[in-house]
Amino acid sequence: MTAPRQLSLNAFIYPSGHHEAAWRHPWSSPERIYDVAYYQEIGRTAEAAKLDAVFFADGPALHNNVKHNATSGLEPITLLTAIATATTHLGLIATASTTYYEPYNLARLFSTLDHISRGRAGWNIVTTGTDLAAANFGLDKHPDHAERYARAREFVDAVVALWDSWEDDAIVLDQASGVYADREKIHQIDFAGEYLRVRGPFNAPRTPQGHPVLVQAGASNDGRAFAGKYAEAIFTAHQRLSDAQAFYADIKERARGFGRDPEHIKILPGISPFIADTEAAAKKLEQEFNELTVPEYGLAQLEGIVGISLRHLPLDEPVPVDLFEAAGDVTDNGKSRLQVVAGIVQRERPTVRGLLHRLAGARGHRVFAGTPEQVADTIEEWFRNGAADGFNVMPPYYPGGLEIFAETVVPILQERGLFRTEYTGTTLRDHFGLPRPDSRFAPQPALAR
């Protein structure tokens, strides 16, 4: 019998919380965002709830918003290694850019994390969407969208080839004869593309997972094509069930087009839940956080999405709809988050202040305020109706926002048979229900005659 389909749930760690004003609220701990023990405690909370993984976003530059928000600059792969030592089953996913790394050193970083954690690593593949990083790497300007994705495709091909370059049985470990490894089973990859050249072979054997899980978050047309070919899990942002269903169906169909099994791609929208005993109390809590926002910060964030200055707009007047005429649709590469915001403006016709509050919770991801049962209901609705294979849980504040989700929502999902009560495997691939890939250099079985 086929086991019933179950949710995947990640905790997306954002230093003080996903609400932009979380650091100002007494329930958060902004003074601890450079304390490794803080993140280890969050990891243990996630593991106690049997979540699939924790996830860190990252960018190789200091954002201009540091005046009004407490953001950590800790390097996530190193930080996840510290969390690995404090946990035993929890998956560990970090963002790293194909634009500002080289394949060989990034392959080493994630391979090492996978070995240290005994098979719990995942790589969130990004091309970096901000111009702020370019000067930090000696570039006059940030590469354009199409060029970044062309390099990204070569980059992932080269990295995976490096991870594959040792066959699984390359280590002989024959102490009597003095043979440690079979050199015939360790291969140069000789990768040569338009942007990258990598000879190989890799300098370490395959990891417990074969290679770390490949994660991706782009929603543009280029991003979707990239996801259909490479991604094993996809982080995405949607406000409405219908939009999430359309994205889900599109990605699964693209995967089929590449000859892949759609069940081997986990689509995980973000949800940022304000949770309280009553719906009214949850909405009041959300309002309490919104009242702590700094309009200057929110406007700067919004301007980064829209691409024009909005400082001249009165805060309590409606947002002009025509500001979003250039949002386009999914075929307009690089505008996926602009399209999310445009949808909010077109449907809800908020004031400028109202839009800033709508985006304050999770930067365009879905914010939901309600009781534990209501949060569980909306998760189940999206899961059962072709919109999600699970969720990237984005607590508005840390550490308590994750703790209350773990203590109140997870048990309801478990009672409904939608989420595990115990880990049934030890690797992130096990948790996501993904197969362990074979090395491309491994001998292929002979075709039956």
Q: What angle do CA 79, 83, 393 make, to 5 degrees?
A: 90
Q: Give the residue among 246, 247, 265, 245 at the shortest CA–CA distance from 255.
A: 265
Vertex 20, ends 8 and 378: CA angle to 5°? 35
Q: Please give the pLDDT value at position 333.
A: 47
CA-to-CA distance for 122 and 138, rounded, in angstroms? Answer: 28
> Exposed, middle or buried by CB within 10 Å (0-12, 13-18, 19+), for 322?
exposed
Q: Which residues in the chain come in under a pLDDT of 70?
A: 1-2, 326-337, 445-449
The whole-angstrom separation of Cα 89 and Cα 234 is 21
Helix 352-360, helix 295-306: angle, nearest 10: 90
With CA atoms as reference, report the closest residue to 238 among 246, 226, 250, 227: 246
Q: Which residues contact 430 (CB under 8 A, 6 or more apart)?
A: 119, 423, 424
Q: What is the DSSP string of 266-284?
A: EEEEEEEEEE-SSHHHHHH
Tell the residue number behind the tokens 């098979």, with chain if given: 119
Tokens of 135: 């000067």
Q: Which of 408, 377, 438, 14 is nearest to 209 (CA)?
A: 438
CA quadruple 376, 382, 384, 388: dihedral positive or negative? negative
Question: What residue type is assigned to position 377 of the chain?
Answer: D
Can you tell me which residue has the tokens 């790497």? 137
pLDDT at 328: 58
Locus of tokens 């079985």: 445
For residue 449, the model assigns a pLDDT of: 41
- Encoded tokens for 228: 């259909």
What's residue 334's pLDDT?
52
269: cis peptide before it, omega within 30°?
no
Q: Is 35 helix (H, G, I), strand (E, B) or coil?
A: coil
Q: Report which residue type is found at 96.
A: A
Percent of the chain with pLDDT over 70: 96
Tokens 């409904």 belong to residue: 416
Only one residue has tokens 């100002």, namely 24
Strand partners, 275: 370
For residue 205, which of 185, 232, 190, 179 has the smallest C-alpha distance?
A: 185
Phi/psi zone of residue 128: left (φ > 0), alpha (ψ -120 to 50 degrees), beta? left
Task: Confirm if 81 and 41 have CB atoms less than 8 A apart.
Answer: no
- Please, what is the Cα angle at 367 between 362 and 368, to 5 degrees? 155
Across 288-432, where does the E strand assignment appear? 366-370, 390-393
The backbone region for 194, taken as left when phi is positive above 0, alpha when psi lies in -120 to 50, beta otherwise, is alpha
Q: What is the pLDDT of residue 326?
A: 65
Sign of CA dihedral 340, 341, 342, 346: positive
Task: Judge contact between 184 and 402, C-beta under 8 A.
Answer: no
